[in-house]
A and B are shown apart, each in its own frame.
Chain A
Amino acid sequence: EIVLTQSPATLSLSPGERATLSCRASQSISSSLVWYQQKPGQAPRLLIYAASNRATGIPARFSGSGSGTDFTLTISSLEPEDFAVYYCQQRSDWPPWPFGQGTKVEIK
């Protein structure tokens, strides 16, 4: 089973700063990676699919990159509403489709 490892566990930054989140897969998953954002008390929200495609309505400050085993979610300039937990999920052809353990982006 493919395992996803996200780093860091917590990222402490100020509004306006750049956030770089990592997700590493235990084996190659091509570009079959999805990113979600979750705020406290809310369901997750789709951000990025197929490693680098922004979902509908997602601001351009969010970008995804990578392929194979190493993936990155970048938030170019943090807005107050971006402080949340971010999860990656692998979506190769067949289940299971595990999530990473999450990265919390908190206000410094």
Chain B
Amino acid sequence: QVQLVESGGGLVKPGGSLRLSCAASGFTLSDYYMSWIRQAPGKGLEWVSYISSSGSTRYYADSVKGRFTISRDNAKKSLYLQMNSLRAEDTAVYYCARDPGTLVDLWGQGTLVTVSS
């Protein structure tokens, strides 16, 4: 079954850190670029970060640049998002997304990150 499953979300205090993971199954992760996309409660979608299939190229939204790091381990069929210096405005559902290059064709179910004291 082709799917993406995120984990690692939870409640964290402002200034804290969290690492999200995304497990891929049913397809060869190393064949695809991948992205993280988030959605604040009741709000729209926000593209967060993107990584090339080898991991050599990474891009970030200005809102997370310098605080978040995207990475991948193709052998472990996993994508990661290390989030540091978290702020209240980072509170959102974070989606792992398969990105063939010009679109997102597969989404995970999302993991909720809540930043609050």
Q: List chain A positions with a Cβ less than 8 A from chain B.
A: 32, 34, 36, 38, 43-46, 49-50, 55, 87, 89, 91, 94-102
Given contacts A95-B47, A96-B47, A97-B47, 11 further A-B contacts (CB under 8 A): A36-B104, A43-B108, A44-B104, A50-B103, A87-B44, A89-B47, A91-B102, A95-B59, A96-B59, A99-B46, A102-B44
Q: Are B102 and A50 in contact (CB under 8 A)?
A: yes
Q: A49-B102, A96-B62 are in contact. Are A43 and B109 (CB under 8 A)?
A: yes
Annotate B82-117 by CB proximity to A: 1 below 8 A, 0 otherwise. 000000000000010000001111011110000000
Which residues of chain B have C-beta atoms less than 8 A from A55's C-beta? Answer: 103, 105
Q: List chain B positions with a Cβ less than 8 A from chain A.
A: 44-47, 50, 59-62, 95, 102-105, 107-110
Q: List 30 A-B contacts (CB under 8 A).
A: A32-B102, A34-B102, A34-B104, A38-B45, A43-B95, A43-B108, A43-B110, A44-B45, A44-B95, A44-B104, A45-B107, A46-B104, A49-B102, A49-B103, A55-B105, A87-B45, A89-B45, A89-B47, A91-B103, A95-B47, A95-B50, A95-B59, A95-B60, A96-B47, A96-B61, A97-B50, A98-B46, A99-B47, A100-B44, A101-B44
